[in-house]
Amino acid sequence: MRALLLTLPFALSSSLAMAQTATTEGAAKLTGVLQTYLGATPGVVTVTPAGGLYAVKLDPMPLIAAAGSEAEVRITPLEFTLAQNGDGTWAMTQDQQFDARLSIKGEAEIALSIASLSDTGIFDEALGAFRTSSTQLRDLKMSQTNFDPKMGDNHFEYSIASLRYETSGKPASPAGTDLTSTFALEGISETITVPGLPVPLKLSAPSGTGEAKIDALRPDAIYKLIAFLVANPDAAAIAAQQQTLKSLVEDGMPFFDHLSSTSSQSQLALQSPLGVFGADTMAITAEANGLVDSGLLRETISVSGLKLPAGLVPDWAQDLTPDSLTLEFGLARFNPAEGVRALLQEIDLADPQHEPDMVTISEAFLPDGEMEFRLGSSKLSSALASVTAEGRLGFGPDIMPEGKARVTMTGMTATRQALTKAPPDIGMQLAPALGLAQGMAKAGENGAMIWEIELARDGRVLVNGVDMQSIGTK
């Protein structure tokens, strides 16, 4: 929220012919720019000259009060200073504490507090974003309670001892702004209390790091949408101005070309009723395209050094228990740009009885009649064996799914040998299944076993060319 509000003032700031020394006239002009996006409700925007600086205060409470919500809301105003550098850039400084609370009677209570929020940055009018910025948070705490008189209340607590966040921006080619960011966290903790568990779940990690990149962000398009929503704060107002909204969305597309992020945490520990689960590291990477013709969503989760509570796994199964996992998955072969354009054409916010043509929307969103789920190079490993898999599955509203996958296993012999030490009831169930799988496998390099799996449009499942239905009929 801080970053969003701090960028709003600048989309039109190049039109301000302010002197570098803060003046009452300059404060009035800057107030007008801010009110373009945050509205003219008294008390929301306050700008005062303070020597060579402009002291800015943004208070959302008058807007919330005007909306007439039944929820109880309290939010600390955002306060920062701006200094015009005279070269199309502005220096921003912020140093405050922050609190936000939301209470919906009988339903939920949410609270966020930050003991210290410090920020410095250089905003570039031409970029519509910060050229550089550095943010330091200390003692962040968030809690949420969901009330349920029948099933019992749920309570969540999340805290970070410190977080440092760095960003930089530069012009994109041919248009837009490329943004990169890095962050580092310390003292991560989460507690989950739910009915039915004798003790809360407690997740902790001493540290975490990450980075993110947004290619060809269109800040001006986002600012215009925010201004529209502030000017039209309810459903009736939006419906009355829906053509303007549709034009803003279509003209602003794709909003960004591509987004990617990576994050990792180390020495994770989860305290549970069964004991303490742990992992040496957990890393997550994700990427997505904006509203472009070639849709893409992809995520990879990697966990290494998995540890289970003492006594949870019997001795005979210790070496069979996975100690690392990599899972890569995503969606492709869809067209979000044409899908959104079709949606904008079909919906009518002013007519509740209007039913959009979902066939038209679907055909635009899925030009091939289907999208594709993709399983990237994924792997599950233990001390004795490893299983890797990758594949794809095409599916759509009017077509039978079809796909292929390749599964490779090493360590089958060691796995079957370990099962000989299992209790008879377990060994007698698993050994035949592994024997059947081994019998159907193709030989790979270094003793690996391979299964090529195919799901046909007619519903048949083939493993290495063998129809599985034929096995059941023999």
Domain positions in the chain are 374-474
| Per-residue model confidence as pLDDT tens digits over 137-182 | 999 999 999 999 988 999 999 999 999 999 999 999 989 999 999 9
pLDDT tens for 61-79 read: 998 888 777 889 999 999 9
pLDDT digits (tens, 9 = 90+) for 258-283: 999 999 999 999 999 999 999 999 99
pLDDT in the model for residue 14: 42
State both tokens at 152. 């019992």
Distances, alpha carbon 409 to alpha carbons 269, 413, 444, 445, in Å: 29, 10, 9, 11
Average pLDDT over residues 320-342: 97
d(CA 339, CA 346): 11
Q: Are 451 and 407 in contact (CB under 8 A)?
A: yes
pLDDT, position 231: 85
The helix or strand, by DSSP H or E, that contains position 238, with its residue range, turns out to be: helix 235-240
Task: Categorize the per-residue pLDDT at 12 as very low, low, confident or very high, splitting at 50, 70 and 90.
Answer: very low
Q: CA 197, CA 190: separation in Å to the nearest integer?
A: 16
Among 190, 185, 188, 187, which Cα is nearest to 144's?
190
Residues 285-290 have a mean pLDDT of 98
Output 37 or 375, whichever has higher pLDDT. 375
Report the range of poorest mean pLDDT among 229-238, 242-251, 402-411.
Answer: 229-238
Instruction: Measure the CA–CA gap between 449 and 410, rounded to whole angstroms.
Output: 6
Residue 434 parent element (H or E): helix 424-440
CA-CA-CA-CA dihedral for 124, 126, 128, 132, to nearest 10: -30
pLDDT given for residue 17 in this prediction: 42
Cis ω on the peptide bond leading into residue 322 (within 30° of 0)?
A: no
User: How confident is the model at residue 15, as a pLDDT?
Assistant: 42
Q: How far apart are the first and last CA of the chain?
A: 64
Instruction: Quote the pTM value.
Output: 0.88
* CB-neighbour burial class of residue 100 (10 A; exposed 0-12, middle 13-18, buried 19+): middle
Mean pLDDT over the full length of the chain? 92
Rg (CA), the chain: 28
For residue 402, pLDDT beyond 90: yes
